[in-house]
Amino acid sequence: MNVLHFADLEILVKALSSEDVAYLKTNLLKSSSFQKFKISFLESTVDESLHTLIGQPYRIVSDSKKVWYFRIPNTDCYIHVVLNTHDVDNKNPKVITFKRVAKEDTPFN
């Protein structure tokens, strides 16, 4: 299923990879309708290759939480990405959120 045409999306998937995150980042930067995607996932193959694919995080909150900002071309908006892979018991889903934010809601204002 192609989810890129949605403006708002909240889904649970079995697995998410670094390549999936890079694909979403690349394509959501081109979307005029995208507002917020929240993707929960049970299994993760997101690893250090993510930094090669999308760049170093703007902020590393902890070993399990990282934050990125990407400017949306030809706009004053950014995509704010928060990856949270913390799960003590490996029972709860991990989460990544992509959200369109105005420049004034970023550290770059």
Flag whether 1 is in a domain: no
Flag whether 52 is in a domain: yes
**What's the number of domains the chain is made of?**
1
Flag whether 62 is in a domain: yes
Flag whether 87 is in a domain: yes
Which range marks the domain in which residue 88 is found? 8-105
Check pLDDT > 90 for residue 2.
no
Flag whether 101 is in a domain: yes
Q: Is residue 5 very low, low, confident or very high in pLDDT (cuts 50, 70, 90)?
A: confident
Flag whether 84 is in a domain: yes
Q: Work out the mean pLDDT of the chain and round it to a whole number.
A: 92
Flag whether 2 is in a domain: no
Check pLDDT > 60 for residue 54.
yes
Flag whether 67 is in a domain: yes
- What contacts 24+ positions apart, CB below 8 Å, involve 99-106? 99/35, 99/36, 99/37, 100/34, 100/35, 100/36, 100/72, 101/77, 102/76, 102/77, 102/78, 103/76, 103/77, 103/78, 105/80, 106/69, 106/78, 106/80
What average pLDDT does this structure show over 71-91? 88
